[in-house]
Amino acid sequence: RKEVEQDPGPFNVPEGATVAFNCTYSNSASQSFFWYRQDCRKEPKLLMSVYSSGNEDGRFTAQLNRASQYISLLIRDSKLSDSATYLCVVNRMEYGNKLVFGAGTILRVKS
Amino acid sequence: DADVTQTPRNRITKTGKRIMLECSQTKGHDRMYWYRQDPGLGLRLIYYSFDVKDINKGEISDGYSVSRQAQAKFSLSLESAIPNQTALYFCATSDFSVSGANVLTFGAGSRLTVL
């Protein structure tokens, strides 16, 4: 079983739609959580950190459920420019603060 | 100029050849990393370095070596390239964070094809 698992998608949604992705992680020692965005053939870039109380950044909302070991990302009012792969990333507090990446969820927003 | 620069951006080589991928950064970060990305597998850590004298293996270091020539430079070598090393390679940097929540800044990637 992968340490970080995501539905690969693709999620095909119309502009203006609300879409949600989930990510599960297997290591209960995980302490920090992130969503990165990766455009086609480009490098990953940090979208947002995920805090225990949940956090919002504009149209994006991230939630963490430690008991069930999953992280979610909600995108409201989807834009064409949101089309990308969204990577769930988990950080473990051990030497190296190893970051473990999920394989990503593909989102395609269509007009 | 980009904060993290990788060269070459694309390389096609033959089995058995030695290849070096170079990474330089202007962010002043102490920590540098090499990842490879394969379809369906996500990014996997090859090597990482917390400072010039510190080199650590990641989860897939076999067949690779690294050199941290300076704080700003971290190179990845494939001593004898093989086809299953065909992948997209990313260099990344991060700063030290007391919370441990280190955020990575990636280079644009180096696409390597081994024939």
DSSP A42-68: S-EEEEEEE-TT-EEETTEEEEEETTT
Q: Chain A residues contacting B, CB < 8 Å? A: 4, 8, 31-32, 34, 41-46, 49, 87, 91, 93, 96-99, 101-104
User: pLDDT value at position B1?
Assistant: 67
pLDDT digits (tens, 9 = 90+) for B58-72: 989 999 999 999 999
Q: Please, how many CA atoms are within 13 Å of residue B87, restricted to the half-sphere of its CB? A: 23
Q: Which residues of A touch B42 (CB under 8 A)?
A: 4, 87, 101-104
Q: pLDDT confidence of A21, banded at 50, 70, 90?
A: very high
Cβ distance B45 to A99 less than 8 Å, yes or no, reads yes
* pLDDT tens digits along B33-49: 999 999 888 899 999 99
- Output the pLDDT for position B77: 98
Query: Percentage of chain B with pLDDT > 90?
Result: 82
Distances (CA, A) of A97 to A32, A42, A60, A65, A91: 10, 24, 26, 21, 6
DSSP B102: P
Quick: pLDDT tens for A54-100: 999 999 999 999 999 999 999 999 999 999 999 999 987 665 667 89
Average pLDDT of the residues in B80-104: 86
Q: Which of A31, A42, A102 sits opposite B100 (nearest CB)?
A: A31
Which of B40, B50, B108 is facing A103, going by the closest CB pair? B40
Strands B110-114 and B10-13: parallel
Bridge partners of A44? A38
Look at residue B21 and tell me whether its pLDDT is greater than 80.
yes
Are B58 and B46 a contacting pair, CB within 8 Å? yes
CB pair distance less than 8 Å for B106 and A4: no
Average pLDDT over residues B73-101: 89
> Is the pLDDT score of A22 beyond 60?
yes
